[in-house]
Chains A and B, each alone.
Chain A
Amino acid sequence: MRVVISQELLSAVLSTVSKAVTRSINPVLNHVRVVVSSDHVEMTATDGEFTIRRTLAVSGADPGSFLAPADLLSKLVGKLPKKDVTLSTEGNQLNVQVGRSSYDLTIMPDENFPSLPEYDGSLLTSIPASLLKNALQQTTFSAVKDSSTGAVHYTNGVFFVFHGASLDIVATDGHRLALKRNKGLAGNELEQNLLLPARVADELEKMLPDDDDAAVAIFNPGNQVAFAFGSQLVVCSLLDVKFPDYERVIPKDIATRVFLDKSELNDALQRVQLVCRTRDQNPVAHIESSEDKIDIRSDAGEVGKGVEELAAQIEGGAIRIALNPEYIIQVLKNVPGDQVVLNWINEVNPVLVSSPRDPDYLYIVMPIRMD
């Protein structure tokens, strides 16, 4: 096997696929699988559930395949000069050579590497990559990425709901929920739900190009999902848990709408957040409206307290609610435009945060209660 690849390209590819590598007791999984054919190279890494593959075009390569130590190879290549890198194998050694640098790394034969499912026949749909990237950005943060309580729960996933020409992407940690509706997807007549692990959604979001023209093909082989875009492929197992009926919790009978300046609200909450731990140190912000303004109060007992007054345009009666300010701060990063709306029903019902600029983006926060 012999192939020449530019250092920059090789480094980028290795660092992308390495995201799927975990330290494992199964040595195969600490390796990246490299398959060289005459005109392209395929690099694959997996942790057994989550797989990333990237393909790059080359010319005049001598074919061959092997398993290379992912971490070491990726670090080594990252430190090489920005020139063409020659990879060649001899026996159980991979030679990495640039100019006067030459390294021989011990490799493993291309055996026992988990194979990817046959996904070709399972194409669900193809959608713009930037649309998916944006939707994941607006929702994934609401899910719970770790599962240190042991069991997998719907809060650990990002839910894809294909329904006719629309795709809803939803994530929740049980206390707030982010929903992005993507409507008018051409040529879709699908009825299909997928629950993607949140940490995969997170990686996928980072990998997706921000390019309006790029498309991502979504496949659904068995209990897995595959996303193919450009030269990249992400495959993972779906979470096998039921996602709750999110439509049911979207507030309907809104009593009051409070229009606020997004950055003013963000700045105020950032300050309030510093001084809003109650006696048992949980973040709580008390929001109350009057006429054409809202007050945001924090009271952290012996630590201190604070109040912020914000100009607001209010449609409806006075509002009053206690919220975890962090939940609002997080959504403000993802609300487009200058304005944000708090839609209020009463003290015990959820608040709907919406954006006049992006009516298909909904964010629901449950209140904090105290006696």
Chain B
Amino acid sequence: MEEAQPRQPIMALSEQEARRISAGEVVERPVNVVKELVENALDAGATQVTVELEDGGRQLIRVTDNGHGIPASELPLAVLPHHTSKIRSLDDVFGLSSLGFRGEALASIAAVSRLRIASHHADDELGTALSLDPAGLSSTEPVNLQGGTEVEVRELFHNTPARLKFLRSRQSESAQVGRMLVSYAIAWPEVRWELLSAGRSLLSTDGSGDRRQVLSDLIEPGFRHELHELDYEFPPSAVHGLISDPTYHRNNRSRQWFFINRRPVTNRLLYKAVDDAMREFLSSGKYPAGAFFLELPPEEIDVNVHPMKLEVSFSQPQAVYTLLSTAVRRGMNRAAGERQGSLRSGLSSVVRQLDAGMPGRPVDSIERRRPNLSLADAARQYAEVSVDASVTPARLEPEDDFAFVPPPIDVIPERRVQLAQDDADAGFADAPQLSLVGQVGNSYLVLNSGERLYVVDQHAAHERILFEKIYEAVDPARASAITRQSLLFPMVVSLDDTESEDMQPLLEALRRVGFNAEAGAGGSLVISEVPQFLRNRINPALMADALEEFSSRGISDLLEDRIKELAASISCRAAIKARMRLTESEQLALLRLLLESWSSLSCPHGRPTIIEIGSSELEKMFLR
């Protein structure tokens, strides 16, 4: 949609149209001027745009482009109010297919500065320069220009001292221009951008069209983290873009850029959509880097709220919020899935091999018996193994010191596993050959692929798995499939006074995630049924902890959000703890679960579950 339209002649809007459109555009600072000039350059199909500032734009703003130029005969029209080559009627205004559309930018700029436009259109032999001053005096002269346009704005606000007074320092004004041009550089990677301030280059891109590259460079020099593709279509709307892997984050939104129909915008709703979607992947207060391009039907957007600012508003804010947060969530889940994919096939081979080698364990592994093993089944398998584990070690060592207890070599032997050629779920030619090294510090499982080490956080991984399973219940279509184990001895959970105040929403949230509970005496909670797959992982102390944490969270009043928080609290408590020695069969069971859990990259509180240590990182540690 962003292809420049074939050029139309510059004409006056009808008076009636002009009156309807006019939004009382005001030029307040250099950045506003630059924006208008840059948009004109892009509208002219430029592939190279250079912005030069002197004294932060106070002395000079010069924008040079290699676009189609303006014919000499039309040059005087360009600076007249309501003269444009871009729209013919109001309907076109909302089409927004070109960036500038009011036909009055040049006129407003001319009113507060000394403006000179030099341009050369292919139909003319020579280029022409038009100079004018605020008094309306103009002069033209032929210039030697080979295509394109050069607009010079000198002495901005020299005739409006009030506005001049409000300008900030040179650095501050040029920094604003720089920030804005960064957005344009990300939106238009095929354009070579250059910003010079007092002769110093503040920004320059190569115009290769590689948005990923441009974005990486702009996030920070030497940025090495992955950028995941966002690609979500919901006709007539869509979201595209790139977002950084959760391994990268910042403490503010300074590396997030939002665009609607390729115009840079700022909008709190859009921030919130990204923040909320990332809550599963990053802890709060941490922000990913990313470029978010929304395509929305023009009638959904009101850009006239603040014509010179980037603010927009929406006629259906909720829909826009859902669109963006869904796009981000999907993108992150897919990325997590892809990342898991290669690891997953490696893991499945470990599990199979371990199954085969486990004494007293049928070679007929669960994968073979039930190809579509679900999370819950895996969870059940976990329960089985943990109950029936034949080797149950006594836990004697103090739980809090001795970070590294070497695994006994004859209990957890290293097993190298060659990925079978016909491995149905491999799907990745370069899947790592993984060997289970053992448990470190009673908290982490270590896997070796030859090339890299994978360290699985047993608590975070299990928590993530349980969370997904519990949270499934939020989907009403699935909730009915949750089977509940009734308890012989109902669990009585005593709650603080604060928690017992309004028990109803809590009871409802519990019901939705597969518990049956009612209010008991003295503000207590009596649980009589628990989700069947959690039956061996729940006890009253644990529920009390989970509910206390849940009530202290209270981020949102929405039931659906509360359910999610409840799921997070319960899964955190019910998960295998850190500093808990796992027998080989328990390690195996956890790996099996991990394997089945598609997006187990980060736990609900936003910590990662698996980290990779490549040989290059090891080399670094050994100072090689």
Contacts and interface: CB of A to CB of B under 8 A. Distances in A.
A280 B376 contact: yes
B529 interface: yes
B536 A173 contact: yes
A278 B533 CA distance: 11
B397 A249 contact: no
B577 interface: yes
Given A175-B488, A175-B535, A364-B488, A370 B483 contact: yes
Contact of A48 (B369, B394, B479, B542): B394
B402 interface: yes
Contacts of B405: 23, 25
A153 B392 contact: no
A144 B385 CA distance: 11
Given A172-B488, A303-B372, A282 B483 contact: yes
B464 interface: no
Given A151-B541, A244-B489, A280 B372 contact: no
Nearest to B378: A281
A148 B580 contact: yes
B532 A368 contact: yes
A209 interface: no
A240 interface: no
A47 interface: yes
A145 B482 contact: no
A153 B376 CA distance: 24
Interface in B462-519: 469, 472, 478-489, 516
B139 to A, nearest CB: 80
Interface string A17-52: 000101111100100000000000000000111100
B541 A324 contact: no
Contact of B488 (A22, A49, A199, A350): A350
B192 interface: no
Contacts of A252: none
A150 B572 CA distance: 13
Contacts of B374: 279-281
A279 B374 CA distance: 9
A48 B532 contact: no
Nearest to A150: B577
Contact of A149 (B411, B484, B574): B574
Contacts of A366: 485-488
Contact of B394 (A22, A277, A280, A283): A22
Contact of B483 (A25, A48, A148, A368): A368
B425 to A, nearest CB: 17
B287 to A, nearest CB: 34
B376 A281 contact: yes
A177 interface: yes
B137 interface: no
A364 B487 CA distance: 11
Contacts of B373: 281
A284 B483 contact: yes
| Main SS at interface, chain A | loop
Nearest to A146: B386
A369 B372 contact: no
A107 to B, nearest CB: 20
B461 to A, nearest CB: 14
A174 interface: yes
A367 interface: yes
A302 interface: yes
A174 B516 CA distance: 15
B78 to A, nearest CB: 66
A368 B485 contact: yes
Nearest to B485: A175
B488 A279 contact: no
A253 interface: no
Interface residues of B, number: 56
A50 B577 CA distance: 24
Nearest to A302: B372
Contacts of B272: none
Nearest to A284: B483
Interface in A129-172: 144-146, 148-151, 153, 155, 172
Contacts of B487: 174-175, 366
Interface in B572-596: 574, 576-577, 580, 582-583, 586
A96 B408 CA distance: 25
Contacts of B6: none
Interface in B67-99: none
B482 A370 contact: yes
B387 interface: yes
Interface in A261-294: 274, 277-284
B396 interface: yes
A279 B370 contact: no
A155 B393 CA distance: 18
B394 A249 contact: no
Contacts of B377: 277, 280-282
A118 interface: no
Nearest to B482: A280
Contacts of A284: 483, 532
A212 interface: no
Contact of B402 (A25, A149, A277, A324): A25
B576 A282 contact: no
Contacts of A249: 488-489
Contact of B484 (A22, A150, A173, A369): A369
Contacts of B486: 175, 348, 366-369
Contact of B539 (A24, A151, A324): A151
B429 to A, nearest CB: 30
B23 interface: no
Interface in B339-393: 369-370, 372-378, 380, 386-389, 392-393
Q: Among the interface residues B411, B535, B539, B576, which one has the most CB atoms of the partner chain A within 10 A?
A: B539
A367 to B, nearest CB: 6
Nearest to B535: A175
Interface in A351-369: 364, 366-369
A167 to B, nearest CB: 21
B385 to A, nearest CB: 9
Contacts of A176: 488
Interface in A231-256: 244, 249
B489 A370 contact: no
Nearest to B514: A280
A322 B370 CA distance: 23
A281 B402 CA distance: 39
B393 A23 contact: yes
Contacts of A301: 481
A153 B535 CA distance: 14
Contacts of B376: 280-282
Contact of B535 (A24, A26, A174): A174
B537 interface: yes
A249 B533 CA distance: 23
A297 B580 CA distance: 39
Given A177-B488, A280-B533, A146 B483 contact: no
A371 interface: yes
A367 B51 CA distance: 75
Contacts of B533: 280-282
Contacts of A348: 486
Interface string B391-417: 011101110001001001001000000
Contacts of A151: 539, 541-542
B489 A174 contact: yes
Given A280-B374, A366-B486, A370-B483, A149 B389 contact: no
7 contacts: A145-B388, A146-B386, A148-B586, A174-B488, A174-B489, A322-B483, A370-B484
Given A174-B489, A369-B484, A369-B516, 17 more contacts: A23-B408, A47-B394, A47-B396, A145-B389, A149-B577, A151-B542, A174-B539, A176-B488, A280-B376, A280-B478, A281-B375, A281-B376, A284-B532, A348-B486, A366-B488, A369-B483, A370-B482
The 9 closest A-B pairs by CB, nearest first: A281-B377, A47-B394, A279-B481, A280-B376, A282-B532, A22-B394, A281-B376, A366-B486, A244-B489
